[in-house]
Structure 1
Amino acid sequence: MSATPPRNTPAATAPVRVWDLPTRLFHWGLLAVVVALFVSGKVGGNAMDWHVRLGLGAGVLVVFRLAWGLVGGRWSRFASFVKGPVTVWRYLRGQLPVPAGHNPLGALSVLALLAVLALQVATGLVADDEIATVGPLNALVPEDWASWGTRWHKGPGQTLLLVLVGLHVAAILFHRLVKRHDLVRPMLTGDQALPADTPPSRDSALTRLAALGLLGLCAAGAVWVSRLGG
């Protein structure tokens, strides 16, 4: 006579590939670019030439991530982690298990960061600091648009981006220290401890080659945009 298995036994877990290599490189690359943008913007002077280049680089990464959110690995796709308000509310009430990749609340943070970064890049393209640096598309937009873009880029946009980055870091620390859930390691290794039957993200050599091609297209687009005003 066999013993009855205990109820509510936790499912066996195993390392599951959640973040494909392109997503991980995007994440850490964007972090480096954003830090460099803040530093070069504060230093000013000759560093502003690099600020413009880095801004175009940030634009390349944002466009790449938006596209990769449609065709990338399973857990990098927006469809896998962008949820409705009911799911977000259930997650906040602790009614959902630890998800693969971004949790429903973290998804909102990702979307907000991408949106604000996209707006910062767009306004930087038309900005004019009235000293020595003019965005490559400044001459192609009405003067009042350029004026608004400059004010937003140097003021509210920068502040909002800092706030979002701060909240992002605070959420990582909260999960690590309070919930004992490490969000950083999976973004380094790509793997997360999940139920063994969790489907992994596609992360093959072909996938990575496709991502490289997509990144190249985004970079070519940035070069084309940078030359429009010239």
Structure 2
Amino acid sequence: MSDRSARIWDLPVRLFHWSLALVVAFQFFSGNVGGNLMRWHMLGGYTILVLVLFRLAWGVGGSTTARFSSFLAGPRAALAFARRLLSRAPAPYAGHNPLGGWMVVALLVALALQAGSGLFANDDIATEGPLAALVSKATSDRLTAVHHWTHKGLLALIALHLGAVLYHWRVKKENLVGAMFTGVKRLPAELAQESAALRFASPWRALALLVVAALLVWLLVSKTFLKL
């Protein structure tokens, strides 16, 4: 059967994906340069926290393909897909495949740990996270070390993610990047027909969740929560 186009990714997921990619790239750059860019580096960290909180909420109350329940598979399913992926057989999925789903979780955890530890970190010179004063210097130093080491783990995950995207493009002939721009995937006709049953949540719900996430992060970094 021939392939057909099917709408898979909603606008909130796509905006989240590319916004996060841009902010993370800036964070690596500003963190390495330091100096006057550290103020922007901290703002970038707050932005990552907002995006991660939003994605967690959207993973529960968002569109079908955005929900964790739709793409988090057990070990057997993940291993079965890995074997299929390494064979010559096509391995199309409407949304995240079993391995890609766990990559989403791994990246969210790493980003939350990276940005969260940065709130308490210090550089022993002039810059410290907004919550560094709430812990001892020794604790701040330990969290600074976590911040630096998580950076390396995050780089490894990003490299693995990009490698998987390239593999799907070159070997499996799946344009995952294009789909994340347009929201549309080319799928086998039967799978595309099944995808017609996907439900897409309102963008207004996404905007409301984003505002709530931003408010929570503001309450955290401004230490307003201490006065509540």
Structure 1 residue runs of 5 or longer lacking an equivalent are 1-9
TM-superposed deviation, 1:179:
1.3
Moved over 4 A (4+): none
* Structure 2 counterpart of 1:139: 133
* Structure 1 counterpart of 2:216: 221
Distance in 1 (CA, whole Å) between partners of 2:56 and 2:159 is 22
Question: Of 28, 41, 49, which residue of structure 1 is paired with 2:31?
Answer: 41
* 1:199 aligned onto 2:195: yes
The DSSP-based 3-state class of the residue aligned with 1:197 is helix
* Counterpart residue type for residue 98 of structure 1: P
The DSSP-based 3-state class of the residue aligned with 1:15 is strand
Distance in 1 (CA, whole Å) between partners of 2:209 and 2:100 is 25
Structure 2 residue runs of 5 or longer lacking an equivalent are none
Distance in 2 (CA, whole Å) between partners of 1:20 and 1:129 is 40
Task: Give TM-score, length-normalised by structure 1.
Answer: 0.89
The DSSP-based 3-state class of the residue aligned with 2:195 is coil
- Which structure's residues are more often helix, by fraction? 2
TM-superposed deviation, 1:141:
2.3
* 1:210 aligned onto 2:205: yes
Give yes or no for contact 2:64–2:200 (8 Å, CA) kept in 1: no
TM-superposed deviation, 1:177:
0.7
Mark the structure with the bigger radius of gyration. 1
Cα deviation digits, residues 67-101 of structure 1 (max 9, x gap):
10011110111111110001011112218851111
TM-superposed deviation, 1:193:
2.1
Give yes or no for contact 2:8–2:94 (8 Å, CA) kept in 1: yes
The equivalences for 1:1-230 within 5 A come to 10=1, 13-94=3-84, 97-154=91-148, 156-194=149-187, 195-200=191-196, 201-203=198-200, 207-228=202-223
State the percentage of identical aligned residues: 43
Task: Give TM-score, length-normalised by structure 2.
Answer: 0.90
* Structure 2 counterpart of 1:7: none
